[in-house]
Amino acid sequence: MTTRQLIADEAELWHAATHHPFLDAVRDGTLDPAAFSRLLVQDYHFALALTSAEGRYLAHAPRGDLEILAEGIQAMVAELAWFERKAAERGIDLAAPLHPTARAYVDYLQATTFEPYAVQLTALWALERAYLEGWRTALPGAAAYREYVEHWTNPSFAARVEALEAAANRVLADAGEPERDAFRWIARYERDFWQMAYTGRDG
């Protein structure tokens, strides 16, 4: 199995994970600012949970993947500080409660920490790649959101996704249904996350 095959096999679900009216509205500038704030708050919660999950992934990763995982953790911690600066600029309270859709995704991440490493790495690659691909559909971004779109599509993030993809392909060589299943859940939760940010509603 390869990352390419996973995406090809689940083309429809992957498309839904990476294309959404939310992203279109970021591109054309029609997005309700309240929706954007909602995304920031819930994405911050997600980033905290991902940092934590990455700590546990690293704790039983093979020697060869420690560098990419340590870089990922560093990048996430820098991302948290960036979220905090942006929230302060926009007057947003990041302590707002976790939305049920975000909770389901965050708890799924925590649950993967009990899964085999190949499942964890597949999930990590899939979620980072979906995020990058999604934001790329919003390029160049309307003026109000341009710096965000640029931040979430910047070359160093893209390079990290590529490195994760190479690592994921190494574990996927011997992988099977559990990894495919993780890929599907990540795609599903990415899609739900955009929808939650867009509408404020669950499901």
Which spans of this chain sit near its own copies (rule: CB under 8 A)? 48, 51-60, 63, 66-67, 70-71, 73-74, 77, 80-81, 100, 103-104, 106-108, 110-111, 113-114, 185, 188, 202-203
Of 57 and 131, nearer to its own copies (C-beta) is 57
Of 83 and 152, nearer to its own copies (C-beta) is 83
- Closest CB 179 distance from its own copies, rounded Å: 16
Cβ-based neighbours of 196, under 8 Å, separated by 6 or more: 38, 42, 99, 101, 102, 202
Q: Between the CA atoms of 161, 167, 172 and 174, what dihedral angle is there, to the nearest 10 degrees?
A: 180
What DSSP element (H or E) covers 31?
none
Of 26 and 104, nearer to its own copies (C-beta) is 104
Of 73 and 96, nearer to its own copies (C-beta) is 73
- Closest CB 69 distance from its own copies, rounded Å: 8
- Closest CB 99 distance from its own copies, rounded Å: 12
Residue among 137, 126, 195 nearest 161 (CA)? 126
* Spatial separation of the C-alpha atoms in residues 175 and 156, rounded to whole Å: 28
Of 28 and 202, nearer to its own copies (C-beta) is 202
- Closest CB 54 distance from its own copies, rounded Å: 8
Q: Which amino acid is at 96?
A: A
- Closest CB 143 distance from its own copies, rounded Å: 31
How many CA atoms lie within 13 Å of 56's alpha carbon, on the beta-carbon side? 16
Of 70 and 166, nearer to its own copies (C-beta) is 70
Cβ-based neighbours of 55, under 8 Å, separated by 6 or more: 73
Q: Which amino acid is at 14?
A: W
- Closest CB 192 distance from its own copies, rounded Å: 9
Residue among 126, 116, 179 nearest 13 (CA)? 126
